[in-house]
């Protein structure tokens, strides 16, 4: 009965083994494992069934007489599992007699089967005035180096071109020839260098000796050379589970670019090409562990650890065991935990206190900046105010990344403008406004209410505000194409504004100011009209912005006495002298903007001569002296638009008269510019297409007076 049980157990083990190695070729039993002093390991072998049968390159020959293992008649030095085969290769040479004639030579050529040359080799030449060549069969490519000398080099000369040279070898060459050729009269060096040599050699295996090698290198019969080998023609990804790698090993793609190789896992050793080739390394029985006391070493599968006796702990710096100090450890641990708990409690209390103070401060700022009044006004102002939003301070911080300097779009007298990104990813412009005395809170609230209701296509829309900060924040729609100042004076953009663009922009700005002065529910004076406060969108449509200096005009007043505020160059001289603000101040500033559009020059430039630093004075004097053509921007003037530009210049001159009562109203200015545009259009097409225009388009040509009369209608249509 016991005999039957033993046979049954053997059968089970054999069946398990065959299932494990099924599909993975293995060497048969009885294969030779040594030839001479070289160990033979699979996938290499010397007889049928002992080498990887799918590739005959793995078959080696054992010369029993010479006790020498051969690969294609090249003596094998060693076989590496990591895809390298080291062999010995003889040198090529050419020898010369005393008359300089070739007397003996040998050019070696090699065919390596499926194996290839490794880049760990060097092509080396020894001799004077020679070329060494490595020619690749089947291609026109070759590599080599040149060695020159007219006398014997110094004894300590390195292999760097004098008597000896080296060059690198490319990966993947299978069939090649090595040659050494002289290119000069050889009689001058024949006495100390009778022969020239060219050979392949493994890196670091040849040290040049000028005294010996130039004379007697033929005494060296061969040199070590490294060949690369791999399994098959496919990568690990392509062969997947059909690779021949055994247990406890892994497949990796060959460095020579073809096939794959196997290697043992970390902590294992053996032949990874055998089913059970890789076995665990017992680090504790070798010097591979770092435990200070070998008795504490414990081996694990693929690794090890150092185990201390009870009552001891492992010092990972010295890998030695130290007695545990339990009492002090508990005391220190308790102290640390108690200290951390106290710190955590203090931190929580401080955070709550800070949060409460911040909440109180935000509420204080909110009331100071008129938040209560604004909410009251919004709650009773009707459905038209549903778009007005009051933002929190936290929302504004997140939108501007903590008011980061990289988010600043611009800075001016009315505040700093930041680029903001709201939680819904919409982009806005956030301005830190500068508020005056507390008595102005009511006006600020009224301004927010009025601007939030303006839906004029040429006014930057106010989306909301934040009152929880010391300085109120205003949130506007984001305009992408910079300011009119940038386009005119090249701060950010190359000027591409034609006269048609400039006239249209002037009409849009004039119409907007006329709307604010006359058609808004409460008249608004902008008070800081300038090219830097006129934004342009992607279609070059004008958007009037920055109402930080604006003032609301009560219905029963035509002017206000205020602290003078504005920008030099654009500031109304009458307002500057009297402090009396009215809509004619905006008319003056617009006149300066119109002059900038015509001339392309800045309103105030200290680089110009003294008499022309101010554009208004320069413009007026040029007009009186009939020199207007000198200051008109040459980029826009041509034969077709000279009349239009001169007419626009006249309008600019009217707007900048010293006395405010002599200036036209913005409604009249807008009408004259519209009339100018219509007349210009009629003038351009009247000669050739007048009859066709009247018949096909039905265009009715209005007079300037007709358009001026219709400005209120145009304003209302452009408004809400």
What the chain holds in terms of domains, given with CATH numbers, is 79-228 (2.60.120), 371-478 (3.30.200.20), 481-720 (1.10.510.10)
CB-based contacts of 473, cutoff 8 Å, min separation 6 = 391, 396, 430, 431, 432, 433, 465, 466
Reported as half-sphere exposure (CB side, CA atoms, 13 A), residue 668 has a value of: 12
Residue 674, token pair as written in the block: 């519209």
Helix segments in 478-572, DSSP class H: 484-489, 499-514
3-state SS, residue 234: coil
**pLDDT level of residue 694 (50, 70, 90 thresholds):** very low
Identify which of 47-61, 212-226, 552-566 has the greatest average pLDDT: 47-61
Share of the chain above pLDDT 70, in %: 80
**What value does the mean pLDDT take over residues 534-553?**
79
What residues are labeled active site?
528
pLDDT in tens, 578-603: 888 888 999 999 999 999 999 989 98
Residue 484, token pair as written in the block: 């009119």
Reported as half-sphere exposure (CB side, CA atoms, 13 A), residue 630 has a value of: 12
Helix (H) or strand (E) holding 87: strand 84-89
Residue 450, token pair as written in the block: 């009025």
Residue 1, token pair as written in the block: 């009965």
Residue 719, token pair as written in the block: 């408004």
First and final CA of the chain: distance in angstroms? 107
CA distances from 321 to 297, 327, 661 (A): 11, 18, 100
Helix segments in 515-631, DSSP class H: 573-578, 583-599, 615-624, 628-631
* Residue 90 to residue 124: CA distance in whole angstroms: 12
- 149-163, 191-205, 270-284, 677-691: least confident range: 677-691
Q: Which long-range contacts (CB under 8 A, 24 or more apart) does 33-36 make?
A: 35/60, 35/62, 35/63, 35/67, 35/68, 35/69, 36/62, 36/66, 36/67, 36/68, 36/69
pLDDT at 61: 95
What does 544-566 look like in DSSP terms, one character per residue? E---TT-EE--TT-S-EE-----
pLDDT at 446: 61
The residue written with tokens 């055998």 in the block is 274
- 31-40, 182-191, 219-228, 299-308: least confident range: 182-191
**Residue 252 DSSP code:** E
**pLDDT level of residue 699 (50, 70, 90 thresholds):** very low
**pLDDT level of residue 527 (50, 70, 90 thresholds):** confident
Helix (H) or strand (E) holding 677: helix 666-692
Burial of 477 (0-12, 13-18, 19+ CB in 10 A): middle
Do residues 269 and 278 lie in contact, with contact meaning Cβ atoms separated by under 8 Å? yes
Burial of 329 (0-12, 13-18, 19+ CB in 10 A): exposed
Do residues 718 and 457 lie in contact, with contact meaning Cβ atoms separated by under 8 Å? yes
**pLDDT level of residue 719 (50, 70, 90 thresholds):** very low
Instruction: Measure CA 462 to chain center.
Output: 35
Per DSSP (E only), the strands in 395-485 are 408-412, 415-421, 427-433, 462-466, 473-477
**What value does the mean pLDDT take over residues 208-237?**
89
**What value does the mean pLDDT take over residues 669-694?**
70
* Residue 675 to residue 677: CA distance in whole angstroms: 5
Cis bond before residue 349 (omega within 30° of 0): no
Residue 7 reports pLDDT greater than 50: no
* Residue 226 to residue 83: CA distance in whole angstroms: 10
Do residues 670 and 507 lie in contact, with contact meaning Cβ atoms separated by under 8 Å? yes
Do residues 413 and 426 lie in contact, with contact meaning Cβ atoms separated by under 8 Å? no
3-state SS, residue 133: strand
Residue 279 reports pLDDT greater than 80: yes
**pLDDT level of residue 664 (50, 70, 90 thresholds):** very high
Residue 109, token pair as written in the block: 């050529």
Do residues 145 and 135 lie in contact, with contact meaning Cβ atoms separated by under 8 Å? no
**pLDDT level of residue 648 (50, 70, 90 thresholds):** very high
Closest of 305, 260, 126, 294 to residue 201, by C-alpha: 126
Rg over alpha carbons for the chain, rounded to the nearest Å, is: 47
- pTM given for the model: 0.47
Residue 141, token pair as written in the block: 């490519």
Residue 95, token pair as written in the block: 């020898």
Per DSSP (E only), the strands in 127-267 are 130-136, 142-147, 164-168, 175-182, 195-202, 223-228, 249-253, 260-264
* Residue 63 to residue 484: CA distance in whole angstroms: 93
Residue 568, token pair as written in the block: 């030099």
Do residues 433 and 414 lie in contact, with contact meaning Cβ atoms separated by under 8 Å? yes
pLDDT at 434: 62
pLDDT in tens, 235-247: 999 998 899 999 9
* Residue 533 to residue 92: CA distance in whole angstroms: 85
3-state SS, residue 288: coil
pLDDT at 326: 60
pLDDT at 447: 62
Do residues 288 and 278 lie in contact, with contact meaning Cβ atoms separated by under 8 Å? no
Share of the chain above pLDDT 90, in %: 35
Closest of 498, 509, 486 to residue 589, by C-alpha: 509
* Residue 151 to residue 193: CA distance in whole angstroms: 9
* Residue 546 to residue 221: CA distance in whole angstroms: 92
Which residues does residue 178 pair with via DSSP β-bridges, in sequence order? 108, 134
**pLDDT level of residue 688 (50, 70, 90 thresholds):** very low
* Residue 200 to residue 109: CA distance in whole angstroms: 11
Residue 571 reports pLDDT greater than 70: yes
Residue 55, token pair as written in the block: 């590739």
Residue 10 reports pLDDT greater than 70: no
CB-based contacts of 79, cutoff 8 Å, min separation 6 = 38, 39, 40, 41, 44, 85, 86
Residue 76, token pair as written in the block: 């094998």
């Amino acid at each position: 009965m016991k005999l039957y049980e033993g046979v049954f157990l053997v059968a089970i083990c054999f069946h398990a083994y065959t299932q494990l190695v099924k599909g993975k070729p293995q060497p048969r039993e009885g294969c030779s494992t040594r030839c001479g002093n070289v160990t033979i390991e699979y996938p290499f072998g010397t007889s049928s069934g002992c080498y990887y049968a799918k590739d005959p390159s793995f078959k080696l020959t054992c010369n029993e007489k010479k006790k020498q293992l051969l690969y294609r008649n090249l003596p094998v030095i060693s076989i590496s599992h990591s895809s390298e085969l080291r062999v010995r290769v003889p040198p090529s040479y050419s020898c010369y007699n005393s008359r300089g004639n070739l007397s003996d030579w040998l050019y070696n050529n090699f065919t390596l089967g499926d194996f290839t040359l490794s880049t760990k080799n060097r092509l080396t030449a020894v001799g004077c005035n020679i070329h060494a060549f490595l020619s690749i069969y089947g291609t026109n490519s070759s590599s080599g180096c040149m060695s020159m000398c007219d006398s014997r080099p110094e004894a300590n000369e390195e292999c760097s071109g004098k008597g000896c040279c080296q060059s690198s070898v490319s990966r993947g060459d299978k069939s090649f020839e090595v040659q050494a050729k002289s290119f000069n009269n050889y009689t001058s060096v024949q006495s100390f260098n009778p022969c020239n040599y060219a050979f392949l050699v493994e890196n670091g295996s040849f040290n040049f000796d000028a005294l010996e090698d130039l004379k007697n290198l033929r005494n060296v019969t061969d040199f070590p050379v490294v060949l690369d080998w791999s399994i098959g023609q496919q990568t690990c990804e392509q062969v997947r589970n059909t690779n021949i790698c055994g247990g406890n090993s892994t497949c990796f793609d060959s460095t020579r670019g073809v096939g794959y190789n196997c290697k043992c896992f970390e902590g294992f050793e053996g032949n990874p090409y055998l089913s059970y080739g890789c076995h665990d390394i017992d680090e504790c029985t070798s010097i591979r562990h770092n435990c200070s006391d070998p008795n504490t070493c414990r081996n694990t599968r693929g690794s090890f650890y150092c185990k201390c006796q009870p009552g001891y702990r492992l010092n990972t710096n010295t890998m030695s065991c130290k007695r545990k100090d339990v009492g002090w450890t508990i005391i220190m641990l308790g102290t640390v935990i108690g200290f951390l708990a106290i710190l955590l409690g203090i931190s929580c209390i401080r955070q709550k206190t800070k949060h409460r103070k911040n909440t109180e401060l935000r509420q204080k700022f909110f009331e100071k900046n008129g938040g209560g009044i604004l909410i009251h006004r919004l709650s009773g102002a009707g459905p038209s105010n549903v778009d007005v939003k009051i933002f929190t301070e936290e929302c504004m911080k997140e939108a501007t990344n903590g008011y980061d300097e990289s988010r600043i779009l611009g800075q001016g007298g009315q505040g700093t403008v930041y680029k903001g990104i709201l939680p819904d990813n919409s982009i806005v412009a956030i301005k830190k406004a500068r508020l005056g005395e507390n008595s102005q809170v009511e006006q600020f609230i009224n301004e927010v209410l009025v601007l939030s209701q303006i839906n004029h296509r040429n006014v930057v829309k106010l989306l909301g505000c934040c009152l929880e900060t010391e300085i109120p924040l205003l949130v506007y729609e984001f305009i992408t194409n910079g300011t009119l100042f940038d386009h005119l004076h090249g701060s950010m953009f190359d000027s591409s504004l034609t006269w048609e663009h400039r006239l249209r922009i002037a009409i849009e700005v004039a119409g907007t100011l006329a709307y604010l002065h006359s058609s808004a529910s409460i008249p608004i004076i902008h008070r800081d009209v300038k090219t830097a406060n006129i934004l342009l969108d992607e279609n070059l449509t004008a958007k009037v912005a920055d109402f930080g200096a604006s003032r609301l005009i009560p219905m029963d007043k035509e002017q206000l006495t205020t602290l003078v505020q504005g920008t030099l160059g654009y500031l109304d001289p009458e307002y500057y002298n009297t402090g009396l603000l009215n809509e004619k101040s905006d008319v003056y500033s617009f006149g300066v903007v119109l002059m900038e559009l015509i001339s392309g020059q800045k309103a105030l430039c200290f680089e110009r001569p003294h008499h022309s630093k101010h554009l208004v004075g320069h413009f007026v004097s040029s007009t009186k002296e009939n020199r207007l053509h000198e200051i008109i921007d040459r980029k826009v003037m041509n034969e077709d638009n000279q009349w239009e530009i001169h007419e626009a210049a006249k309008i600019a001159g009217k707007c900048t008269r010293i006395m405010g009562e002599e200036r036209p109203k913005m409604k009249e200015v807008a009408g004259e510019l519209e009339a100018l545009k219509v007349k210009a259009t009629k003038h351009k097409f009247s000669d050739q297409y007048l009859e066709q225009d009247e018949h096909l388009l039905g265009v009715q040509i209005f007079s300037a007076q007709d358009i001026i009369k219709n400005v209120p209608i145009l304003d209302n249509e452009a408004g809400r």
